[in-house]
Amino acid sequence: MTSEETQRPYSEAPGGAAAVSGDYQADLGFAWPSMDTGTEPLIEAGPRAEIVEEVGLAMTGSLNLRRCVLQLLTGVQPEIADWAMVVLTNPRTGGLTLLGGEDPSAATKVSRRSVAGQALERILASGRTELLQVTLDDDGADGLATMVPSRTLRDQAAKLRPVDVLGLGLTARGATLGALVMVRGQGRGFTEADVALAEKLAARASLALDSARLYEQRSRVAAALQASLVPGALPVVPGADLAARYRPAIEQLDIGGDFYDVFAAGDEWLAVLGDVCGKGVDAAVLTGRARQSIRTAAHFERQPGALLSAFNTVFASDASDRFITLVCLRLRPADDGRSMDVEIAVAGHSGPVLVRADGRVEQLEIGGTVAGVIPDVDYPTRTVRLEHGDALLLFTDGVEEARGDDGFYGLDRLLRLLSEYAGAGSDAICAAVEQDVVEHLDGRSHDDIALLAISCGGVSGWQS
Amino acid sequence: MAELTARRLDESLAAFELALAGVNSTAAVEVVEGLLADGVEPVDVLTGVIAAAQRNVGARWQRGDWSVAEEHAATGVAAAATEAVARRARLTPITRGKVLVACAEREWHALPAMIIDCVLRADGWDTTMLGASTPPLRLGQYLQDLGPDALAVSCSMLGALPTTRRFIEASTTAGIPIVVGGAAFGTDDVRARALGATAWAQDAASAVEAARNLPTVVQVVPPLPDEAVAEQAALELSHRELAARVLADWRADPDLEIAEDAVTQTLHAVWAALLTGDPRPIPQTAEWISALLAARGADPELIADLGLQLRIHLRDYPLAHSLLTTSWPTSAPL
């Protein structure tokens, strides 16, 4: 701290400090993005009381911490502050993140140590307000150091030839999560009324920021868990053209009780599509286990019927009383890519629909009980040969049972649609079925919907 | 150099269209990868080949040359080619913020959004693409979880404009600027501005430009005119019933396969005009239907009759009725 600056509690702020120079905006030296609201506040008249409500409302519109900070920074400028910065503390490391200044979307990180003994440290520790006056003959930069622990940000604020620097604790639900630092340029000191208003605003902003922080912590946990349950990107299978779609019943989730998986087992390819009873997060957790069990079993057994038997034994002995329906395929494309043998086994699931390139369409009838109920079950395996342009569509019951104005979507409608898409390629097939089913629903709620199409065709190589 | 690129693109376009017609993803991917390998910019490949070919695909359906399934098959191939360009674009270092790219709900044309996603990624944005017909709940979740610097929404169908408006409300409530584009907005920014979008992009290149110039934070959009919103909502609620009644009374041949589409599109044009205050979607849709009818050898007078049936069945919707009275062509265009 330099001797040119004085520090005082805000209550000692001199009256009449709000003398405003008419051209202060020219001193800003940067343009804040215009919002084109048509209601530009009269800054000369001082901040309006309504700003607390306006900024608070805008901030509660966002549950994302960074967006919430941006709302606050945009809201206080230029009506309350000529320059502003938000400091957030990381409760785990104690480190500080600084957001604000000329490029508010850029974040600067500094250590807690770097603010030792500074005004900012006191504000973060006590949550109390500090008003700092920088004398006019000072270039400002050094005087700002006690509140702004970043050279770049300090230099920006110094351009205003600041008179007052106001630091406010952001305290919500009993903890100080950071600070709001606002700077006013030459001729625009903070009045007592300004400081009182700023404190009100800080209190309101803190609640919004704290909610966003809590949401973000939860959301991070959820995202990490969800990432392991989201169907992975489809691999490139030589000689096959693959596509998939997934519409969970709970629309805001990316996961549900349906799943699909395509993976290499040795030099062969296995494809699985399944449906765990139930929907939402509980069901999704079970699909994660099922997928893993199948991948593990595939190390030892790749013939689809035998693979399903092994999986069933493991799944049935599990403490879970839930069951699962599955289709399991082994893909064996011919070396020339003109045909592909597909072995299929089914556990209590709708058989895949075979779409021949010439327009013939049939659902393959393959028996097999649901998995997870009886310990020892044999599953028959059926083999079909796909010629170039033929496709198999695997789907879950969210398709047939999609309920619209005129009843269930049903298998007949699906087969009729698919006959038009003979030879159209996997992506077009999935896109058409998805659209037709969702339009049939016409906004009604639905079960999880999963589609996996496998066509015999040249390597399209885009499913990475 | 630019001229060389232009000639190269023209040649490639022909080869690419052949690949679309033959539903040959391998050939289509080869065409775009060849261009990229020769140093053609991703954005030029996307607009000069993929988007250009896709316009012709739409025209082929419109002329009755291709079925919907054939159009979808070609689009699937174009999507594969776009994905190949996207693979290249993903090698670009991320130098800007996050952008969320979505299709409005009921918007099933994912390709334009894929193209926008790709050009933005190539411009250094960290993009997340949500696929066709995004449910509003899913969009809201991603807006909060991702906290993007911008939302880009593609909307080519007039019937998807109401959910585009809801996306604009969701985005601006969170302070996030939103850039919109697609055929449903027409050739100027009137509808985009009316709905409260932060920016409108005419094509992929202007989407890149718009994204670079968006404000950091925007204010929540003010409500749309109450009466118009109420009437559009009422029309949307009884859409199936209204469409069925108009279709039953329209003099069109029951075998005319585009009849249902024509009625639906017209009602959607009315929605669009109500929400945006821009009546142009109505005569433009009439023109579009005229072209469909002409390509299929149907009676051009059917246009006037469709207008009449709509006015009869929409008599309880005063704003819609008056829009149709003033904007629907009274006689078939020559």
pLDDT at A316: 85
Q: How far apart are CA A435 and CA A423, in angstroms?
A: 18
A46 to chain B, minimum CA–CA distance in Å? 21
Q: Please give the mean pLDDT across all residues of chain A.
A: 85
Q: How far apart are CA B31 and CA B85, in angstroms?
A: 11
Q: Name beta bridge partners: A318.
A: none
Q: Read off the pLDDT of residues B66-85 as tens digits, 9 standing for 90 and up.
A: 888 888 999 999 999 999 99
User: Residue A311: which H helix or E strand, with range?
Assistant: helix A304-317
For B170, nearest residue in chain A (alpha carbons): A61
- Using pLDDT thresholds of 50, 70 and 90, give the confidence band for residue A187: confident
Token pair recorded at residue B32: 């775009």
Amino acid identity for residue B184 in this structure: A
For A31, nearest residue in chain B (alpha carbons): B215
- Using pLDDT thresholds of 50, 70 and 90, give the confidence band for residue A189: confident
User: By three-state DSSP, how is residue A144 classified?
Assistant: helix
Q: How far apart are CA A328 and CA A272, in angstroms?
A: 5
| Chain centre to alpha carbon of residue B87 | 24
Q: Residues of A numbered 384-403 whose beta carbons fall under 8 angstroms of chain B's beta carbons: which are they?
A: none
* Sole residue written with tokens 């968006």: B214
Q: Is A79 on the interface with B (CB under 8 A)?
A: no
Q: Is A58 on the interface with B (CB under 8 A)?
A: yes
User: By three-state DSSP, how is residue A181 classified?
Assistant: strand
Res A17 pLDDT > 80? no
Q: Read off the pLDDT of residues A285-312 as tens digits, 9 standing for 90 and up.
A: 999 999 999 999 999 999 999 999 999 9
Class of domain B1-91: mainly alpha
Token pair recorded at residue A6: 């004085």
Element counts in chain A: helices (H) and strands (E):
10, 19
CA A89, A90, A95, A100: dihedral to nearest 10 degrees? -50
CB contact under 8 A, B144 and A62: yes
Can you point out the beta strands (E) in chain B?
98-103, 126-129, 150-154, 178-181, 199-201
- Residue spans of the domains in chain B: they are 1-91, 93-222, 226-327
Sheet of strand B126-129, all strands in order from the earlier edge strand to the far edge: B126-129, B98-103, B150-154, B178-181, B199-201
Res A449 pLDDT > 70? yes
| Chain centre to alpha carbon of residue B13 | 22
Overall size of chain A counted in residues: 464
CB contact under 8 A, A461 and B29: yes
Q: DSSP of A419-459, one letter per residue? A: HHTTTS-HHHHHHHHHHHHHHHHTT-----EEEEEEEE-S-
Q: Which long-range contacts (CB under 8 A, 24 or more apart) does B294-298 make?
A: B295/B62, B295/B63, B295/B64, B296/B64, B296/B256, B296/B258, B298/B252, B298/B253, B298/B256
pLDDT at B2: 61
Q: Which residues of A touch B75 (CB under 8 A)?
A: 428, 431
β-pair type (A353-355, A339-347) = unpaired
Query: HEC states along A216-270?
Result: HHHHHHHHHHHHCCCCCCCCCCCCEEEEEEEECCCCCCCCCCEEEEEEEECCEEE
Res A4 pLDDT > 80? no
Counting as low any pLDDT under 50, the low residues of chain B are 1, 332-334
User: By three-state DSSP, how is residue A312 classified?
Assistant: helix
Q: Which residues of A touch B215 (CB under 8 A)?
A: 33-35
* Closest C-alpha to A69, from A48, A85, A54: A85
CB contact under 8 A, A435 and B133: yes
Portion of chain A with pLDDT greater than 70, in percent: 87
Q: What is the DSSP letter of B78?
A: H
pLDDT at B63: 86
Q: Read off the pLDDT of residues A423-444 as tens digits, 9 standing for 90 and up.
A: 899 999 999 999 999 999 998 9
pLDDT at B1: 46
- Contact criterion met (CB below 8 Å) for B112 and B55: no
- Using pLDDT thresholds of 50, 70 and 90, give the confidence band for residue A2: very low
Q: Which residues of B touch A434 (CB under 8 A)?
A: 132
β-pair type (A339-347, A324-333) = antiparallel
The residues, any chain, with a CB within 8 Å of residue B229's CB and separated by 6 or more, are B223, B274, B275
Q: Read off the pLDDT of residues A106-120 as tens digits, 9 standing for 90 and up.
A: 899 999 999 999 999
* Closest C-alpha to A8, from A178, A283, A195: A195
Cut 0.90: pTM above it: no
Q: How far apart are CA B266 and CA B262, in angstroms?
A: 6
Q: Which long-range contacts (CB under 8 A, 24 or more apart) does A8-12 make?
A: A8/A131, A8/A133, A9/A129, A9/A130, A9/A131, A10/A129, A10/A130, A10/A131, A10/A166, A10/A190, A10/A192, A10/A195, A11/A192
A2 to chain B, minimum CA–CA distance in Å? 35
Q: How far apart are CA B299 and CA A379, in angstroms?
A: 59
Mean pLDDT of A150-156: 90
Q: How far apart are CA B177 and CA B216, in angstroms?
A: 7
* Sole residue written with tokens 């003010």: B222
A435 to chain B, minimum CA–CA distance in Å? 7
- Contact criterion met (CB below 8 Å) for A353 and A414: yes
Q: How far apart are CA A37 and CA A56, in angstroms?
A: 17
Nearest residue, CB atoms, A61 vs list B84, B110, B174: B174
**Angle between helical axes of B204-212 and B110-122 (0-180°, round to 10):** 50
Portion of chain A with pLDDT greater than 90, in percent: 64
Token pair recorded at residue A248: 């969970």
Phi-psi bin for B64: left (phi > 0), alpha (psi -120 to 50), beta? Answer: left
Q: Read off the pLDDT of residues A223-242 as tens digits, 9 standing for 90 and up.
A: 998 888 998 899 989 889 99
Token pair recorded at residue A255: 């996961």
Point out the least confidently predicted range of A33-37, A139-143, A374-378.
A33-37
Q: How far apart are CA A245 and CA A430, in angstroms?
A: 6
- Contact criterion met (CB below 8 Å) for B235 and B320: yes
Res A23 pLDDT > 60? no
CB contact under 8 A, B73 and A425: yes
Q: How far apart are CA A347 and CA A394, in angstroms?
A: 13
* Sole residue written with tokens 């299709």: B103
Nearest residue, CB atoms, A252 vs list B23, B73, B140: B140
User: Residue B112: which H helix or E strand, with range?
Assistant: helix B110-122
* Closest C-alpha to A55, from A205, A196, A175, A161: A205
Question: What architecture is domain B93-222?
Answer: 3-Layer(aba) Sandwich (3.40)
Nearest residue, CB atoms, A431 vs list B76, B141, B217: B76
Mean pLDDT of A300-325: 88
Amino acid identity for residue B160 in this structure: A
Q: How far apart are CA B9 and CA B175, in angstroms?
A: 40
- Using pLDDT thresholds of 50, 70 and 90, give the confidence band for residue A406: confident
A60 to chain B, minimum CA–CA distance in Å? 8
User: By three-state DSSP, how is residue A345 classified?
Assistant: strand
Q: Is A230 on the interface with B (CB under 8 A)?
A: no
* Closest C-alpha to A272, from A300, A238, A234: A234
User: Residue B281: which H helix or E strand, with range?
Assistant: helix B281-295
Q: Is A427 on the interface with B (CB under 8 A)?
A: yes
CA B286, B288, B292, B294: dihedral to nearest 10 degrees? 70
